[in-house]
Structure 1
Amino acid sequence: MTDAHSTHATGGGQARPARVPLTFVPLSTAPLELDTSIPPWPGRQVPLAGATLHVRETPGPHPDAPTAVYVHGLGGSATNWTDLANLLAGSAHGVAVDLPGFGQSEPPAGFDFALTSHAAVVADYLAGLDRGPVHLLGNSMGGAIAMLVAAERPELVRTLTLVSPAVPDLRPDLRRMADPRMPLAYLPVLGGPVRRQLASLTPRQRAEQMIRLCFADPGRVPEHRVAESAQEIAGRLGLPWAADAINRSTLGLIRAWLVPRARSLWQVAPRVSVPALVVWGDRDRLVSVRKAARTAELLPRGRLLVLPGTGHCAQMEQPVSVARAVLGMWGAVAERAW
């Protein structure tokens, strides 16, 4: 079934030789109740061979339930998945990771913050879960990382959900910045005062900037979620590695967009063999929705859901719509209909 309110395709792409239409996304009709009052899920530190990850766990319906693993985007954290993980908890045990240098995961010494390095850490974590292949979900930079994991380690992934994945999008547009003054911060003479102005922003102001950047309708964010974000930002300001992590991860993402075509993320997508759902907001300011159809078309088992009136973090802005699509995919895969 398709939902005319929430499913349509945009953008160009290669011809797709498939019997199932790209936008034929089955949407679950299961009753879903969004409770935005719940706080972030409890977290713990998990040691790996070369790193320690902080993860937040959402209990599933029973010990043998499938596992869903959530990977946040640039500047985000595991708390970006609080509501969606709750909506999916009736079907899967959820684990949201803080990538190295983000949230409460301290990066290991010598970590280079390349996309491939982040992906290697996530793959190591999945391998250590010993719960069989997982449902892997990623947003923005986390979507690019999840796609790399699915391509390189398909035995670890049962299904793949990409929410506005950070595929190459090099268009110059100041609207993609949380603060339009940021480019001025790198100029001689003028840069110093601008950097001081940016540094003087309160955690609350920074949280509001990010919400305006990532949401099509910032009014959808409950007040306590804004306060939670501000509190998390305040905590990160005291971490000696936080600023370096976001700066170097940003450079790592840009470098991944600039590599020769043979190593491009566009060449990674066709190597993903698992069922894949691509979700995009049609008012995404950070990665253009024009990339949506091409991304889904290049995934051999990919389908596309474009949500109207939605920004870059659909799992936060429209969690019920995303949950219905994810559950629909999981059901279709179980019935071998994807």
Structure 2
Amino acid sequence: MTARARPRLLLVHGLLGSLSYFEPQRYLPGVDVVAPDLAGYGRRRSDDTGLALPDQAATLARFLRDDAGGPAWVLGHSVGGAIAMLLADMVPDRVLGLISVEGNFTLKDAFWTGRIAALADADWAAEYGAMEGAPAAWLEKSGIEASDERVAWAREILANQPYTTVQKMAQSVLDTTGAPDYLGCVGRVLARATPLYLVGGEQSAAGWDVPDWVLSQARRVCVQPRAGHMMMLEDPATFCRIVEAILYDGDCRSGA
């Protein structure tokens, strides 16, 4: 029996990063996982330029061309889903397929980012500081039971970037996904027959505004049971089984 090729997977985090906190490689031993920091996050948290979504995508495009070792599947969570779509449009030859995990398609998906972008700097700084100071309360407010492990992960997520990065990214989400050509970008990616898988949480997917024409062209819509928007924090093992099934079988049902 011929061994299956080992997939390469690029993880693109959302408004709050990163996606390395739950150690995805541990759950995906048969996948080459890379989770680079976006500008303004993690080891690049001091960057104050390149934070607009198209610029973030351009940086990842260079990474795929120069450092990734070959074409990759791209998984984008939330805002990262929009960046992943822009990336697939920029370098279609480097993107084998897309896994959009409740990724932004329209401004209806930008309810939290819209609120953040509209706040005065001082008000957002105070609100973000309160979240950092009480990560368990932040989880509970999001409908997530605050176990010790989840609280530790939440603390790491919130400390990963300054509040200024979050607000600048929030504004770019509105500017980018609200522009007429954003859905044009989605259409171009799908017209090239780039495989697209949609992954949502059972408790949050109903609020995800995916256009009907995108749904009709997606290879599969995958729902993670008993989870919401931050499904990889709530149940990383199930999340990674879904992702692995997509990469190896093209069918997430075997992973749920």
TM-score when normalising by structure 2: 0.78
The separation in 2 between residues aligned to 1:318 and 1:75, in whole angstroms, is: 18
- Please list, as runs of the form range in 1=range in 2, the aligned pairs for 1:255-334 lying within 5 A after superposition: 255-260=175-180, 263-264=181-182, 266-272=183-189, 273-284=193-204, 288-291=207-210, 295-299=214-218, 302-332=219-249
Q: Report the counterpart of residue 69 of structure 1 in structure 2.
A: 10
Aligned in 2, Cα 1:83/1:290: closer, same or farther, shift over 3 Å? same
Q: Report the counterpart of residue 152 of structure 2 in structure 1.
A: 227
After TM superposition, give the deviation of residue 122 of structure 1 in Å.
0.8
Aligned in 2, Cα 1:281/1:67: closer, same or farther, shift over 3 Å? same
Question: Structure 1: 5+ residue runs without aligned partners?
Answer: 1-63, 237-241, 334-338
Q: Structure 1, residues 158-217: CA drift from partner, whole Å, max 9, x if none?
A: 2221111012133796xx48xx9x79964xxxx97x668536626241x33543465x4x
Which gives a bigger RCO, structure 1 or 2 (Cα 8 Å, sep 6+)?
1
Code of the residue aligned with 1:291 in structure 2: it is V
After TM superposition, give the deviation of residue 134 of structure 1 in Å.
1.0
After TM superposition, give the deviation of residue 296 of structure 1 in Å.
3.3
Q: Report the counterpart of residue 35 of structure 1 in structure 2.
A: none
The answer to whether the 8 Å contact 1:138/1:163 transfers is: yes
The separation in 1 between residues aligned to 2:170 and 2:131, in whole angstroms, is: 22
From 75, 80, 84, the equivalent of 1:142 is 80
- Please list, as runs of the form range in 1=range in 2, the aligned pairs for 1:26-175 lying within 5 A after superposition: 65-80=6-21, 82-89=22-29, 91-106=30-45, 108=47, 110-111=49-50, 113-170=51-108
TM-score when normalising by structure 1: 0.61
The answer to whether the 8 Å contact 2:13/2:77 transfers is: yes
The separation in 2 between residues aligned to 1:131 and 1:200, in whole angstroms, is: 39
The separation in 2 between residues aligned to 1:195 and 1:297, in whole angstroms, is: 38
After TM superposition, give the deviation of residue 289 of structure 1 in Å.
2.7
Q: Structure 1, residues 269-311: CA drift from partner, whole Å, max 9, x if none?
A: 23223222110123228x9234276543344xx3211234321
The answer to whether the 8 Å contact 1:204/1:227 transfers is: no
Code of the residue aligned with 2:235 in structure 1: it is Q
The separation in 2 between residues aligned to 1:199 and 1:141, in whole angstroms, is: 18
Aligned in 2, Cα 1:197/1:142: closer, same or farther, shift over 3 Å? closer
Q: Report the counterpart of residue 211 of structure 1 in structure 2.
A: 139
**How many pairs were matched up?**
243
After TM superposition, give the deviation of residue 152 of structure 1 in Å.
2.2
The answer to whether the 8 Å contact 2:16/2:158 transfers is: no
The separation in 2 between residues aligned to 1:303 and 1:231, in whole angstroms, is: 32
Q: Structure 1, residues 236-285: CA drift from partner, whole Å, max 9, x if none?
A: 4xxxxx3332111110001113212xx02x22223223222110123228
Matched residue SS, 1:98: coil
The separation in 1 between residues aligned to 2:90 and 2:9, in whole angstroms, is: 18
Code of the residue aligned with 1:93 in structure 2: it is D
The answer to whether the 8 Å contact 2:7/2:247 transfers is: no
The separation in 2 between residues aligned to 1:314 and 1:183, in whole angstroms, is: 24
- Of structures 1 and 2, the larger Rg is shown by 1
Q: Structure 1, residues 112-141: CA drift from partner, whole Å, max 9, x if none?
A: x22111110111111112522112111011
Code of the residue aligned with 2:37 in structure 1: it is D
Matched residue SS, 2:27: helix
Aligned in 2, Cα 1:270/1:200: closer, same or farther, shift over 3 Å? closer
Aligned in 2, Cα 1:323/1:231: closer, same or farther, shift over 3 Å? closer
Aligned in 2, Cα 1:199/1:251: closer, same or farther, shift over 3 Å? closer
Code of the residue aligned with 1:245 in structure 2: it is T
Matched residue SS, 1:327: helix
